[in-house]
Amino acid sequence: MFHKEGYKIIIVTFILVISGTVLVDNFVTIDWLRLALKLVLLVFLILILQFFRNPKRHTQPNEKQVVSPVDGKVVVIEEVFEKEFFNEKRLQVSVFMSPINVHVTRYPIGGKVIFSKYHPGKYLVAWHPKASEENERTTVVVENKTYGQVLYRQIAGALAKRIVNYAKVDDTATQGADSGFIKFGSRVDLFLPLDTNIKVKLNQKVKGGESIIAETNE
């Protein structure tokens, strides 16, 4: 299954690969070079298909837990001052996605969307310290009665040129459901209450909609 955000790019890629194969067959006479060029086209097609894949995830809804919004590796766990929405200290957990990861963004908790804002910006590498404040990004806050308010921020990377965010204020968020997409390399930051119980470690690989990032201490 492929994400709807990739349909146009996949179709264009198929056309380019087929056209390229025809050109190689007609104009390249050296056998090894013809084979090599066809392999390059095939690898390119496979990479595009892999990037836009949208595997089904089996989220176990739990209002006391925060699930990872994306696939990737945990690169930040620290206490920070979140100044866009909370204006107070929060625990930040950041997940970095390489180009080979699934790039679907999923709701980390269920509840009501109370804030959603897009920010145009730069395209610094996703792990850059200032990427969270200077890169193209979206900020979404979801609230439920049990866990409280959770902010997640989609951040474009050096390769990402478009962030897609489906979350709108007053929407009902379903934990683990599709809330957006980031095209080509990026990261997502979570901002959680200080008294939350973090369930992941640095450099741990996580799966969107399934891996437990944190849970309440109650």
Q: Is 186 one of the catalytic residues?
A: yes
User: Can you tell me the distance from the alpha carbon of 184 to that of 47, in angstroms, rounded to the nearest whole number?
Assistant: 11
Confirm if 99 and 156 have CB atoms less than 8 A apart: no
**Confidence band of 89 (pLDDT split at 50, 70, 90):** very high
Whether residue 126 has pLDDT greater than 60:
no
Confidence band, pLDDT 50/70/90 cuts, at residue 162: confident
Domain 65-215 has what CATH class? mainly beta
Q: How confident is the model at residue 90 (pLDDT cuts 50, 70, 90)?
A: very high
Out of 68, 94, 186, 211, the active site residue is: 186
Select from 133, 117, 166, 141 the least CA-distant residue to 66: 141
Task: Report the number of secondary-structure helices (H) and strands (E) in the chain.
Answer: 3, 14
What whole-number distance in Å separates Cα of residue 151 and Cα of residue 166? 15
